[in-house]
Amino acid sequence: MNEIILLKLGEMVLKGLNRHEFENRLLNDIRSRLKPLGKFDLSIRQSTVYVEPKTETDMDEVFRRLQHVFGPVAMSRARASAKDVDAIVETAIPYLREAMTGAESFKVESKRSDKRFPMTSIQISQAVGGALHDAYPHVRVDVHNPDLTVYVEIRETAAYVHAGSLPGAGGLPVGSGGRGVTLLSGGIDSPVSSYLMAKRGMALVPVHFFSYPYTSPEAREKVEELARILARYTGRMTLHLVPFTAVQEAIRKNCPENLFTLIMRRFMMRIAQRIALDTGCGAIVTGECLGQVASQTLDAMTVTGQVCTLPVFRPLIGLDKEETVKLARRIGTFDTSVLPYEDCCTVFTPRHPKLRPTVEELEKAETALDCETLIESALAGVEKLVVSGW
Encode pLDDT of 24-50 as tens digits. Answer: 999 999 999 999 999 999 999 889 999
How far apart, in whole angstroms, are the C-alpha atoms of residue 288 and residue 305?
Answer: 11
Looking at the fold, whether 106 and 222 belong to one and the same domain comes out as: no
Question: How many folded domains does the chain comprise?
Answer: 2
Looking at the fold, whether 33 and 75 belong to one and the same domain comes out as: yes
Task: Find, among 41, 19, 65, 149, the residue nearest to 9 by Cα.
Answer: 19
Looking at the fold, whether 162 and 78 belong to one and the same domain comes out as: yes
The boundaries of the domain holding residue 225 are 179-387
Residue 80 pLDDT greater than 90, yes or no: yes
Q: 136-164 in b/e burial notation, b at 16+ Cβ within 10 A?
A: beebeeeeeebebbbbbbbbeebbbbbbe
Residue 342 pLDDT greater than 90, yes or no: no
**DSSP state string for 178-247:** -EEEEE--SSSHHHHHHHHHHHTT-EEEEEEEE-TTTS-HHHHHHHHHHHHHHHHHH-SEEEEEEE-HHH
How far apart, in whole angstroms, are the C-alpha atoms of residue 299 and residue 282?
Answer: 24
Asked, for residue 288, whether it belongs to a domain, the answer is: yes
Q: What is the mean pLDDT of the chain?
A: 94
How far apart, in whole angstroms, are the C-alpha atoms of residue 197 and residue 220?
Answer: 23
Looking at the fold, whether 162 and 186 belong to one and the same domain comes out as: no
Asked, for residue 119, whether it belongs to a domain, the answer is: yes
Q: How confident is the model at residue 151 (pLDDT cuts 50, 70, 90)?
A: very high
Helices and strands per DSSP (H, E), number in the chain? 14, 15
Asked, for residue 173, whether it belongs to a domain, the answer is: no
Least confident of 199-208, 248-257, 342-351, 365-374: 342-351
CATH of the domain at 89: 3.30.2130.30
Looking at the fold, whether 14 and 157 belong to one and the same domain comes out as: yes
How far apart, in whole angstroms, are the C-alpha atoms of residue 120 and residue 116?
Answer: 10
Which of 167, 197, 212 delimits the end of a domain?
Answer: 167
Q: How confident is the model at residue 133 (pLDDT cuts 50, 70, 90)?
A: very high
How far apart, in whole angstroms, are the C-alpha atoms of residue 279 and residue 379?
Answer: 13
Do β-strands 48-53 and 3-9 pair in parallel, antiparallel, or remain unpaired?
Answer: antiparallel
CATH of the domain at 362: 3.40.50.620
Identity of the residue numbered 102: G
Looking at the fold, whether 10 and 77 belong to one and the same domain comes out as: yes
Q: HSE-up of 149 (CA within 13 Å, CB side)?
A: 12
Give 292: exposed, middle or buried? Use CB within 10 Å, 0-12, 13-18, 19+: middle
- Residue 345 has what pLDDT? 65
How far apart, in whole angstroms, are the C-alpha atoms of residue 316 and residue 320?
Answer: 8
Task: Find, among 47, 49, 57, 48, the residue nearest to 2 by Cα.
Answer: 57
Residue 1 pLDDT greater than 70, yes or no: no
Q: How confident is the model at residue 346 (pLDDT cuts 50, 70, 90)?
A: low
Looking at the fold, whether 257 and 297 belong to one and the same domain comes out as: yes
Asked, for residue 342, whether it belongs to a domain, the answer is: yes
- The sign of the CA dihedral 175, 177, 182, 188 is negative
Region 369-390: mean pLDDT is: 96
Looking at the fold, whether 158 and 278 belong to one and the same domain comes out as: no
Q: How confident is the model at residue 191 (pLDDT cuts 50, 70, 90)?
A: very high
Asked, for residue 172, whether it belongs to a domain, the answer is: no
List CB contacts of 321: < 8 A, sequence separation 6 or more: 188, 289, 292
Q: Give tens-digit pLDDT for 195-222.
A: 999 999 999 999 999 998 888 889 999 9
**Is residue 211 within 8 Å of residue 344, measured between CB atoms?**
yes
Asked, for residue 340, whether it belongs to a domain, the answer is: yes
Task: Find, among 23, 343, 70, 58, the residue nearest to 230 by Cα.
Answer: 70
